[in-house]
Amino acid sequence: MITAAQLRAARALLGIDQRELALRSSLSLPTIQRMEASDGVIRGNVDSLMKLVEALSTSGIELIGDGATSIGGGRGVRLK
């Protein structure tokens, strides 16, 4: 899953605002705002989460989950 911090970091790497992410993911701006304001792992409608992750992936973002191969060992994001 994706955390709010990962979402904000991914958006920063892409250099896009919340409105642009909403457009790319076919979600509403308030939905993106709620997701980014959440604490820890983002919870919500599975369809919305799938749209978000797909839009990030299509834009070149790779999400790094807990336990995934990463020098730092924690969660994160990186450009593909």
pLDDT average per 10 residues of sequence, the chain (80 residues): 91 96 97 95 92 94 71 58
Q: Which residues form the domain of 49? A: 4-79
Model pLDDT, residue 8: 95
Q: What is the CATH number of the domain that holds 11?
A: 1.10.260.40
Model pLDDT, residue 66: 67
Buried b (16+ CB within 10 A) or exposed e, 53-80: bebbeebebebbeeeeeeeeeebbbeee
The model carries a pTM of 0.83
Model pLDDT, residue 44: 84
Domain count, the chain: 1
Measure the CA dihedral 23/10/55/75, to 10°: -140
Model pLDDT, residue 78: 66
